[in-house]
Amino acid sequence: MANDSITEEWRSVEGFEGYEVSDMGRVRSWRSNSAGDKKRDTPRVMAPSLKKNGYLQVNLWRDGLRATKTVHSLVATAFFGHREEGKEVRHLNGVKHDNRVGNLAWGTHSENVLDAFDHGTHPGFARRGPDHNGLPSKPRGHHGAQAKQERRDRRKRLGQSPNSSGKLTGDQVLKIRALAGTMTYRELARRFGICAQSAHSIVTRKVWKHI
């Protein structure tokens, strides 16, 4: 009979003797005490705790001192190598507690912000919903013919930013503002097909004030 079991690969956690992390996102310990001077015959798989931001973390001991580490950072370092400056861990499917090696990658903060929008987990996206297109939630009289025409006119009016050659959606505007701290106005302009002045106007809320 064929063996359908999946082999789990374990690698040592650098800098923390007696700990290992696997490609399935699990952490285990061979230590029987915090000092690390006694070893187990079989390792103990550790139960991670959930941080407020949704990521999993574990407490590791070294020289009698406790260090709290996120599981995704341990996995990424063990399987992808040391983090380069300006890089952070991305969860490719948007699930923060899925720390399998196939779901992780080093990336920039900008990439992580865009991932959050794509997965619908960014705070601004979650507040307004995926189909808001920069318009407020449904008010009284929303379904009237006049109201519908007013919304169509408003979309035309708001979709075209000053000095911009293309229309933007409310979702794109939120992305531009979220990325403003990680990219220059010129970089934002190139990414979204607008001019740098338009990017500046969006970030400083000179336009699209309703979002």
What residue type is 129 in one-letter code?
G
Pull the structure tokens for residue 179.
């990325």
C-alpha 115/C-alpha 185 separation (Å) is 20
C-alpha 87/C-alpha 113 separation (Å) is 13
| Average per-residue pLDDT for the chain | 79
Of 48-52, 123-127, 186-190, least confident by mean pLDDT is 123-127
| Alpha-helix runs per DSSP H in the chain | 71-80, 109-119, 123-128, 145-159, 170-179, 185-192, 196-203
Return the domain boundaries, the chain: 10-84, 118-203
C-alpha 1/C-alpha 114 separation (Å) is 46
Task: Assign 122 to helix, strand or coil.
Answer: coil
Residue 68 in this model has a pLDDT that exceeds 90: yes
Cβ(134)–Cβ(210) below 8 Å: yes
Q: What is the DSSP letter of 15?
A: T
Max intra-chain CA distance, the chain: 77
Q: What is residue 46's predicted lDDT score, i.e. its pLDDT?
A: 96
Cα–Cα distances in angstroms (integers) from residue 204 to residues 65, 92, 195, 199, 200, in the given order: 46, 31, 15, 9, 6
As assigned by CATH, the class of the 10-84 domain is: alpha beta
Task: Assign 124 to helix, strand or coil.
Answer: helix
Cα–Cα distances in angstroms (integers) from residue 162 to residues 36, 175, 190, 194, 201, in the given order: 64, 18, 16, 9, 8
Strand-pair partners of 107: 88
Q: What is the DSSP letter of 60?
A: E
| Tokens 């779901």 found at | 103
Q: What is residue 160's predicted lDDT score, i.e. its pLDDT?
A: 41
Per residue in 103-137, pLDDT (tens digit) is 999 998 888 888 887 777 766 554 454 444 444 44
Q: What is the DSSP letter of 8?
A: P
Per residue in 2-14, pLDDT (tens digit) is 444 478 999 999 9
* Residue 68 φ then ψ, to 5°: -95, 125
Q: What is residue 191's predicted lDDT score, i.e. its pLDDT?
A: 84
